[in-house]
Amino acid sequence: MPRSRPVADTFTPDERSRLMSLIRSRDTKPERAVRSLLHHLGYRFTISGPRNRRLPGKPDIVLPKFETVIMVHGCFWHRHPGCRLASTPSTNAEFWQNKFDRNVARDARVRRKLNQQGWSVMVIWECQTRTVDGLEKIAARLRRTLSGTKISYAASPEKTAALRVAEKARKAPRKKIRKVESPGKHDAR
Ligand SMILES: [Zn+2]
């Protein structure tokens, strides 16, 4: 597929085409894109389980195994710093500013509470989910952040077990086969 801009070669053509399909439809919600991305990368997560409801801020995406919460923030409502989507309406500016301030303060409070309970928080901004480049960067960040914590998702238990068995078989000393020269053996046949 022809590209308009060069991109760091972190993904295979297959992965790239999957990413393309994620953003192909215009109505793709940022959260849905992130969920699809996680799914394709093979990460397990919960979206509306009891854990999600119990945690501070009732996060939408929870990865229990990695003790990580992913927050997908809309750039306008959550004020993505320096983002063109985070404009302030010119009418009722004070009303909007108060509203934005409350949102930002709440986000910070939720992040702090989650951290205090031992959860890592990863914030993904809406604008990052709108392009393939952005999704690639998110995927790379997920791999980097999550693979360093508890498990390597590339190694399935079955594969690990199979490799262990093969390795053990390779290392095992061969049994010496002794030639038994017994006189009269040939005569016995
Ligand atoms: Zn943004």
What domain count does the chain have?
1
CA torsion angle for 136, 137, 139, 144 (degrees, to 10)? 140
In which band, very low, low, confident or very high, does the pLDDT at 188 lie, cut at 50, 70 and 90? very low
How remote is the CA of residue 82 from the centroid of ligand 1, in Å? 8
Angstrom distance (rounded) from CA 101 to CA 96: 8
Q: What is the pLDDT of residues 40-96, one digit of tens each?
A: 888 889 887 777 788 999 888 999 989 999 999 999 999 999 999 999 888 888 999
How remote is the CA of residue 187 from the centroid of ligand 1, in Å? 92
Q: Is residue 33 part of a domain?
A: yes
Helix 13-24 × helix 132-147 angle, to 10°: 120
Q: Is residue 119 part of a domain?
A: yes
Angstrom CA distances, 131 to 21, 101, 141, 151, stand at: 11, 28, 15, 29
For residue 32, pLDDT beyond 80: yes
**Least confident window among 102-106, 146-150, 166-170:** 166-170
Does residue 11 sit in helix, strand or coil?
coil
Q: Is residue 188 part of a domain?
A: no
Sheet of 120-125: strand order equals 61-63, 68-73, 120-125
Q: Look at residues 89, 94, 44 and name the one whose alpha carbon lies nearest to residue 68.
A: 44
pTM attached to this predicted model: 0.65
Q: Is residue 168 part of a domain?
A: no
Domain that holds residue 112: 13-158
CATH classification of the domain holding 134: 3.40.960.10
pLDDT at 175: 52
In which band, very low, low, confident or very high, does the pLDDT at 24 lie, cut at 50, 70 and 90? low
Q: Is residue 72 part of a domain?
A: yes
In which band, very low, low, confident or very high, does the pLDDT at 10 lie, cut at 50, 70 and 90? low
What are the backbone dihedrals phi and psi of residue 100, each rounded to the nearest 5 degrees, phi first?
Answer: -60, -45
Q: Is residue 123 part of a domain?
A: yes
How remote is the CA of residue 29 from the centroid of ligand 1, in Å? 14
Q: Is residue 4 part of a domain?
A: no
How remote is the CA of residue 73 from the centroid of ligand 1, in Å? 9
pLDDT at 147: 75
Q: Is residue 171 part of a domain?
A: no
How remote is the CA of residue 118 from the centroid of ligand 1, in Å? 27
Span 113-139, mean pLDDT? 91
